[in-house]
Amino acid sequence: MEYLDYLVECNFTEATDTLDKNYVAHAKYEMFLLLHGDVTILINSRKYHLQDGSLVLLTPRDLHLTMNNTSETYRRITMHFDPKVVQMFNTNNTNLLSCFHQASAAQRNIIQLDEEQVHEYVRLASSIAPYWGSRIFGDDLTALSSLVLLLVYVNRAFLTQRIAVPVPCSPLVIQIADYVDENLGQNLSVATLAEQFSYSQSYISTLFSKQMGVSLKYFIITKRIAYAKQLLLVADNSVMSVCEQCGFNDYCNFIRSFKQIVGITPLRWKQEAWAKAPRNDETGEGVMALGI
């Protein structure tokens, strides 16, 4: 397990800020358990208000943005893992990734754990946290065995616990969000959306911001940048081709927007993403573990 620190991560965190400040889709699978706080999350253009004990299940297909609604700290356990590290434990009766695939396909990404289940989740996560970055002999297997047990537990909870429903939004806001998702490679702006739905720019901007918690302009640009990051993980995609596929008509604007949101240029982000990828045992080449 030479790349253990890439394959599984488990962090207990208490902070006022969120880890991802923009719409993002990770290359690994993610589990996010809210222990305490007032938090809103957007997942694939749907808005949810999390309760203590909310467990969020995310695949690389699930774009998401987490927002702390107060200035107070919120406590959570965030876990990322490469699906390949657990697929070897799958059997005919047990697919450890089943709950993630079902959640993503049916937009049922959040389940509500009761107090006893939260306690058990914390216990299992606590047995992973001290070991996931360790190079000491046996610590990799300790972390993996605990991850398998945790995934068995989560899959069982997924089958029995109630599923969180999105915060009610007006049909117009839902239609706009879905339209953006389906047309990221097209000419998208507040103006084109206003024309598409036959409302004024001011009206749809105000309505969208009020109900989704982010401005419509911000929603469009962060969705595009998240999409760009997914495309950059494909080896044959150049930065220029990704720019065009994401609907940016101006290459310089794409570079500037990407750097403003991500912090580095698209080329550097692509290079760093591939440098962190596990190596193919036979070729020695990087392999992006998208889990799709």
Instruction: Specify if 14 maps to a domain.
Output: yes
The reply to whether 146 and 19 lie within a common domain is: yes
Q: Which residues contact 53 (CB under 8 A, 6 or more apart)?
A: 33, 34, 35, 112, 113, 114, 115, 117, 118
SS (H, E, C) 72-101: CCEEEEEEEECCHHHHCCCCCCCCCCHHHH
Task: Return the pLDDT at 281.
Answer: 41
pLDDT at 180: 92
Do 260 and 132 fall within a single domain?
Answer: no
Sheet holding 8-15, edge to edge: 8-15, 74-81, 29-36, 54-58, 110-112
What tens digit of pLDDT does each residue of 12-41 get?
A: 999 887 656 667 777 789 999 999 999 999
Quick one: tokens of 126?
A: 């606590």
Q: Distance between CA 252 and CA 230 in Å, rounded?
A: 20
**Site of tokens 């570079």:** 255
Q: Looking at the domain assignment, is residue 102 inside a domain?
A: yes
200 alpha-carbon distance from chain centroid: 32
Nearest CA to 34 among 11, 56, 10? Answer: 56
Strand, coil or helix: what is 207?
A: helix
CA atoms within 13 A on the CB side of 20: 19
- pLDDT for res 20: 61
Output the CA torsion 231→233→237→242 (10° steps).
Answer: 30
Does residue 292 sit within a domain? no
> What CA–CA distance (Å, rounded) separates 240 from 232?
10
Phi and psi of 66, rounded to 5°? -105, 135
Domain at 268, CATH number: 1.10.10.60
Co-location of 198 and 242 in the same domain: yes
Here the tokens at position 87 are: 């697929």
Report pLDDT for 44: 80
* CA distance linking residue 177 with residue 251, whole number of Å: 25
Dig out the tokens for 224 from the structure: 């595009």
Cβ contact 104:59 at 8 Å: yes
* Residue 249 DSSP label: S
**Helix, strand and coil percent figures for the chain, each rounded to 5:** 45, 15, 40
Residue 288 lies in a domain: no
The pLDDT, as a whole number, for residue 106 is 82
Determine contact, residues 55/157, Cβ cutoff 8 Å.
Answer: yes
49 - beta bridge partners? 40
Q: What is the pLDDT of residues 198-235, one digit of tens each?
A: 999 999 999 999 888 789 998 898 888 888 988 888 88
Residue type at position 254: F
Same domain, 137 and 207: no
Alpha carbon distance 265, 273 (integer Å): 12
Residue 151 and residue 203 in one domain = no
Same domain, 34 and 76: yes
- Residue whose token pair is 């940016």: 248
Same domain, 145 and 211: no
Instruction: Give me 220's structure tokens.
Output: 């469009």
For the chain, how many structural domains are there in total? 2
- Distance from C-alpha of 253 to C-alpha of 256, rounded to nearest angstrom: 5
Q: What is the pLDDT of residue 280?
A: 44
| Dihedral sign from CA coordinates of 248, 275, 148, 114 | negative
The answer to whether position 190 is within a domain reads: yes
Residues in the chain predicted with pLDDT less than 50, given as ranges, are 1-5, 279-292
CA nearest neighbour of 291 among 250, 237, 230: 230
List the domain range (segments joined by +) for residue 38.
4-160
